[in-house]
Amino acid sequence: MIRFILLALILFGFLIFGYPLLVMQNSLGKKDPAARDRESLAIVQYMFRLLLKLCGVKVTVKGRENIPGDRAVLYVGNHRSYFDILVGYTTVPGLMGFIAKKEMLSIPLLRSWMKNVNCLFLDRKDIKAGLKTILEGIEKVKGGVSMWIFPEGTRNRNADETELLPFKEGSLKIAEKSGCPVVPVAMTRTADIFEKHIPFIHPTQVTVYYGKPFYIKELEPEVKKHAGAYTREMIQNMIREIQEEKAGNE
């Protein structure tokens, strides 16, 4: 419970007392948006690393060499915890933003920091607004900013980590329309940090596995029609690989 209280205090303190810093970043963005993006990302990454350390979370990164270093990509991952975002932002190279639910826009200050680190906000109930978000994501990728999406649409609470929710097929449109590679991402044990025993935070060893990238345009026609299901199966196999490696080391 102490970790949860400290986490809440640090987050609240950063949003309130970091307001002058946010104003400076917004001012910088009017003159040099690229510099604002880099500085805001560095600030957020520092805070996220601090929070992970405070919570006793250790992250093992597998497959980092699979991430292309010369272009923006679409990260497609499974989703079990709020901590997935912290792990993602602290382990990928370069600029990257998450596709978040539009409800996050209702949180003052936090929404501003999210915008500064290239997050986009998806309205899952409004098709027209959702299409606009996808188009914004395509422009981000074309501009050199990678995007990260959770095609399950919500946090998966299934006990078996390999039992993923269905992937929404339209979720990979950013990669299809921009021509960028898709990097499948598997995370394990992130829900063990907090979601499995709210409001307590437990020190946890989590693993994030970046799979081999692929291009939707290079998939077989029948597979291309169901690119979401194809990626879902890849991530399931990656989770099983992590579990098998862990079992073999015990």
Distance separating alpha carbons of residues 234 and 229, to the nearest angstrom: 9
For residue 147, the SS3 value is strand
**pLDDT of 216 strictly over 80:** yes
159: left (phi over 0), alpha (psi -120 to 50) or beta: alpha
What is the pLDDT, as a whole number, of residue 179? 96
Burial of residue 230 (number of CB atoms within 10 Å: 0-12, 13-18, 19+): buried
pLDDT bracket for residue 126 (50, 70, 90): confident
Query: Is 23:219 a contact under the CB 8 Å cutoff?
Result: no
pTM for the structure as a whole: 0.95
Mean residue pLDDT of the chain comes to 95
Residues paired with residue 198 on neighbouring β-strands, in sequence order: none
Going by their DSSP bridges, the two strands 182-188 and 204-210 should be labelled as antiparallel
pLDDT cut 70: percent of the chain above it: 100
**pLDDT of 76 strictly over 90:** yes
Query: Which residue matches tokens 């449109």?
Result: 173
For residue 182, the SS3 value is strand
**Of the candidates 211, 232, 162, the residue with the CA atom closest to the CA atom of residue 63:** 211
What is the pLDDT, as a whole number, of residue 246? 83
As a whole number, mean pLDDT of residues 38-54 equals 97
**pLDDT of 247 strictly over 90:** no
As a whole number, mean pLDDT of residues 135-154 equals 96
Residues paired with residue 133 on neighbouring β-strands, in sequence order: none
Distance separating alpha carbons of residues 225 and 46, to the nearest angstrom: 40
